[in-house]
Amino acid sequence: MLFHVRMDVHLPPSMPPDQAAQLKADEKALAQRLQEEGKWRHLWRIAGQYANVSIFDVAGNEELHALLMSLPLFPYMKIEVAPLCRHPSSIRTNDL
């Protein structure tokens, strides 16, 4: 199942810089592993914001929920999720 996910990150200004740096490094490592596994299919930064738009390819709601909650930055995120399905006018056949 494909999901469109927007993640806005809001780290507290009082967070020590070394803690923020470690969280970001851990987040990057996990995001790259999930991309290599094919679960995090696309990842785009939103210009000028500490936010991204992503496409996840997972078995369903429960897997997506668990995956998002496992992200090191999860406690500092506002997340919006939209399930996706094929549009009947799409000419693409290889992006299920």
Q: Which of 45-54, 69-78, 83-92 has the lowest mean pLDDT?
A: 83-92
Is the separation of the CB atoms in 72 and 23 below 8 Å? yes
**Structural domains for the chain:** 2-84 (3.30.70.1060)
Q: How far apart are the first and last CA of the chain?
A: 8
pLDDT at 86 over 90: no
62 pLDDT above the threshold of 70: yes
21/24 Cα distance (integer angstroms) = 5
The pLDDT value recorded for residue 10 is 98
